[in-house]
Amino acid sequence: MAIDVYLNFEGNCRDAVEFYAKTFETGQPQIMTFGDTPPDPNFPLPEEAKNLVMHARLSINGSNVMFSDTFPGMSFIQGNNISLSYSSKNIEEIKSLFGKLEDGGKVGMELQETFWSKCYGNLTDKFGIQWQFNYDNGEFQG
């Protein structure tokens, strides 16, 4: 599978996705907000997060470009708001690559099950590159 680009925004993700969809004539994008996610009583969703974009994806000239707003309270630095997203149907491959890239790096979220994936995690490698890993069994259509 290809490595995809993931772009983060500070509250204006919906505008960006709609702009790029129109510019590259990709059709109407599907946008999932943080408010669309299953509720978790251990982590109540702040009101200001409900309409922010959790995930959107456009196919631009054969490449997947994914988008998200940063969650309220998380740091946002324009210019450092890009990560690489590695998706695979091989969970052992994900675990192996994650383990290699975390050596000397910093884990943001250990590999774990989420509502969209049986195995997701993210880290910043020793060179400062942000990576997201996602097991893709074809169930999530984000």
pTM, 2 dp: 0.71
Distance CA 45, CA 11 (A): 16
Q: What DSSP designation does 101 have?
A: H
Q: In sequence order, which residues have a C-beta less than 8 Å from that of residue 126 and are 6 or more positions away?
A: 103, 104, 105
Instruction: State residue 142's pLDDT score.
Output: 47
Indicate the burial class of 116 (C-beta count within 10 angstroms; 0-12, 13-18, 19 or more): middle
Q: Residue 22: how many CB atoms within 10 A of its CB?
A: 12
Give the CATH number of domain 84-135; options: 3.60.15.10, 1.20.1600.10, 3.40.830.10, 3.30.720.110. 3.30.720.110
Q: pLDDT tens, position by position, for the chain (142 residues)?
A: 678 899 999 999 999 999 899 988 898 999 999 999 998 888 899 999 999 999 999 998 788 999 999 998 888 877 778 888 888 899 999 999 999 999 999 999 999 999 888 999 999 988 778 899 999 876 654 4
Which residues of the chain are in CATH 3.10.180.10 domains? 5-69
Instruction: State residue 138's pLDDT score.
Output: 67
- Fold of domain 5-69: 2,3-Dihydroxybiphenyl 1,2-Dioxygenase; domain 1 (3.10.180)
- DSSP for 31-93 reads EEEGGGSPP-TTSPPPGGGTTSEEEEEEEETTEEEEEEEPPTTS---TTS-EEEEEEES-HHH
The single-letter code of the amino acid at 18 is: E
Q: What DSSP designation does 110 have?
A: E
Which residues of the chain are in CATH 3.30.720.110 domains? 84-135
Distance CA 96, CA 102 (A): 10
Residue 64: name the closest of 107, 108, 30 by CA.
30
Instruction: State residue 139's pLDDT score.
Output: 62
